[in-house]
Amino acid sequence: MSRFLRLANFAGWPAMCGVLIAIVTLQFLEIREIRNSLGELIRDGETSQPDFFDAIARASVSVVSISATRVNVEAIERSGDDRVDLYLGEQESLGAGVIIDSRGFILTNLHVVDTLFDAFDATVTLSDGRHTPATVIAWDETNDLAVLHVNMDDLTPITVGNAGKLAIGDVVFSIGYPHNIGQSVSQGIVSSLNHDLDFSVSMIQTDAAINPGSSGGALIDANGALVGINSSILSESGNFEGIGFATPAGLAVGVARELVDEAIAGNSGYLGVLTGEALTAQSSELFFGVDNIRGMLVESVDEGGAAARAGILPGDVITAINDTTVVDDESIVMEVREKKPGDIVRVQVYREGRTLEFEAALGFGQAILFDP
C-alpha cells in the first residue's frame, strides 16, 4: 500500500504542476484582456474629449490687432482772465478687431480708436503679420462700435453665429491681443445672459479672459463662429477678475453692416494719389525726353491705398481714368468723385516709354459720422 501511495505521489506532481501552469496561463490571458480593454476605454475617452483646435484656427485668421494713436487733453491752464490753454497729448491705444467682409471692413469697439476731434490714426495688423493703415469710416457711440476699412487682399471674414442660441455654461473662447504680446486665446463659459447693467443693450457675460488689448476682439463658440464682440470688464483693480462682457454678434454685425452701407452712400471714392502740375511740352521734354506726354505726374501714393494696391507708382503719369483724358488734377477729382468706395476704375499711366492700364478698387478718404 505504501508503495502504491509513493507511486501515486510521484505521478501526481506533474499533474499538479500542469494544473498550476494552466491556472497561471489563464490568469495571465485574463489580465492581458482586461488591460487591453482598459486601454481601449482610455483611448475612447481621449478621442471623446472635445477638440477645439480647428474651430479656433478658423476664427483666429479673422481677428486683427489694432494700434491707434489717441489725442486727448492732458492739462488745462488759465493764462488770462478770458483765456484758457489746452495741452494735448498722444497716447497709444491697443485693441483688436474682427474682419466681417472680404472687401476690407473690420468691426471693433469705438473706445479702441476714439480720439479727440475724431482725429483717427489707426494701423491694422493681421494674424499673418501683414499690416496697413486703416480708415475709420463710421461709428456708433451708443453701442460702442466702430467700422474700419483697409485696402488689402486675401482677407478672411469670420463666420457669424447665432448668439441667441447660447446657453449659460456653453464653452466660449476670447481671441484678442492682450497687453501687446501677440494674438492670444482664452477659454471660458457663458456666465450669464441678458445683462444690461449700465449698457444700452443686453450683453453676454463670460469668464473667458478679456484683458487690455482684447477689446474689440472675437468671442467665439465651440464651432468657431462669432457670438460676440469683446467689449469690457467689471473690475475694481482694473485687471480682469473673471467678469467680462461682449456685445452679441447679431446686434454688433447688424449695426456694422448698416454703417458700411451708409458710409459707402455718403462717401466718394478715394484713389490715394498726390499729383503735381499737369505736364506741358516743356516739362514732358524735361522729365521724359519727349514733348508729347500729357497728364498728371504722380508724386506719391498712399500706403495701402487704392492706387498703391493697383500697382501705380510715384513717377507714373496718369493720362486717363476710364474714358476721360486727364489734362489737370480736376480731371482726376471729378472722375473719382462720381464713384463710390469699392467701385473699380481703369487708370491709364505712362511709365518708362510704355502705356499701362491698371484697375483700382477705390477706397475711403475722410470718415463721415453716422450717429443713429
pLDDT of 66-103, one tens digit each? 988 766 555 666 666 666 655 555 667 789 999 999 98
Give the CA dihedral 294, 295, 297, 300, nearest 10 degrees: -160
Same domain, 128 and 180: no
- Domain with residue 185: its CATH number is 2.40.10.10
Could you tell me if residue 346 is inside a domain? Answer: yes
Could you tell me if residue 121 is inside a domain? Answer: yes
Number of domains the chain contains: 4
Residues 300, 149, 324: CA angle, nearest 5 degrees: 50
Report d(CA 363, CA 150) in Å as an integer: 8
Could you tell me if residue 103 is inside a domain? Answer: yes
- Domain encompassing residue 103: 57-149
- Domain with residue 355: its CATH number is 2.30.42.10
Report d(CA 323, CA 363) in Å as an integer: 20
Could you tell me if residue 106 is inside a domain? Answer: yes
Report d(CA 214, CA 245) in Å as an integer: 11
- Expressed in percent and rounded to 5, the helix, strand and coil fractions of the chain are 30, 35, 35
Q: What would the pLDDT profile of 157-202 be if each residue is shown by its tens digit?
A: 999 998 888 899 999 999 999 887 889 999 999 998 875 555 556 8
Q: What would the pLDDT profile of 130-149 be if each residue is shown by its tens digit?
A: 888 888 999 998 899 999 99
- Does 372 score more than 80 pLDDT? no
* Active site (catalytic) residues: 111, 144, 215
Report d(CA 138, CA 243) in Å as an integer: 29
